[in-house]
Chain A
Amino acid sequence: MSQLRKDPIVGRWTIIATERARRPAAFVDPLSTTTDQKHCPYCQDIASPGVYESQGVKVINSSSPILDESKPFELRGHGLYDVCHSYGVHEIVLETPTHTANMADLPPEQINAVMQTYALRMQTHRKNPFVEYILAYKNYGVAAGSRNIGHARSQIMTVPVLPMRVLDKISGSKKYFDYHERCLFCDMVTQELKSMERVVTQNEDFVVITPFASRFPFETWILPKGHHCDFVEGIKGHEDSLAAIMKDLLLRFKMGLNDPAYNYMIQTSPVKKASSYKDDYHWHIEVMPRLTRVAGFERGTGFYICPIPPEMSASFLREVEIHA
Chain B
Amino acid sequence: MPELRRDPVVGRWVIIDSDHTKGPLDFSKDDNTPTHQSICPFCPGREHQTPHEVDAVRPLKSLPDTPGWLVRTVPNKFPVLISDGSLQKEGIGIYDQMSGIGAHEVLIEGPEHEKNLTELTKEEMLAVINQYQNRFRYLSKDSRFKYVMIFKNFGFSAGATLEHTHSQIIALPMVPKTVLEELKGAEHYHQFRGRCVFCDMISQEYQDKERIIAENTSFLAFCPYAPRYAFETWIIPKGHSADFAQMDTATQVHLAQILQDMLRKIKQVLGNPSYNYYLHTAPVGYDHTACYHWHIEIIPKLTRSVGFEWGTGLHIVPTFPQDAARFLRES
Contacts and interface: CB of A to CB of B under 8 A. Distances in A.
Contact of A79 (B93, B157, B204): B204
A303 B172 contact: yes
Contacts of B158: 293, 295-296
A296 B3 contact: no
Nearest to A81: B225
Contacts of B287: none
B159 to A, nearest CB: 3
Contacts of A296: 151-153, 158-159, 168, 276-278, 299
Contacts of B64: none
A140 B137 CA distance: 45
Interface in B208-240: 208, 225-226
Nearest to B229: A299
B97 A165 contact: no
Interface stretch (B67-75, B117-125, B173-181, B245-253): B173-181
A66 B312 CA distance: 15
A195 B20 CA distance: 48
Contact of A145 (B10, B174, B306): B306
A164 B241 CA distance: 27
B308 interface: yes
Interface stretch (B43-51, B76-84, B323-331): B76-84
Interface of A: 1-6, 8, 10-13, 15-20, 64-68, 71, 78-87, 133, 135, 137-139, 142-146, 155, 157, 159-161, 163-166, 168, 184, 187-188, 191, 212-213, 263-267, 286, 288, 293-303, 305
Interface of B: 1-6, 8, 10-13, 15-17, 19-20, 78-82, 85, 92-100, 147, 149, 151-153, 156-160, 168, 170, 172-174, 176-179, 181, 197, 200-201, 204, 207-208, 225-226, 276-280, 297, 299, 304-308, 310-314, 316
11 contacts: A2-B81, A6-B97, A8-B95, A11-B177, A82-B8, A83-B4, A187-B94, A266-B311, A296-B299, A301-B147, A303-B176
Given A1-B85, A166-B313, A212-B95, 20 more contacts: A1-B82, A5-B95, A6-B97, A66-B316, A80-B225, A81-B225, A81-B226, A82-B5, A83-B5, A133-B312, A137-B311, A139-B307, A164-B13, A188-B94, A265-B311, A288-B310, A293-B158, A296-B277, A297-B170, A303-B178
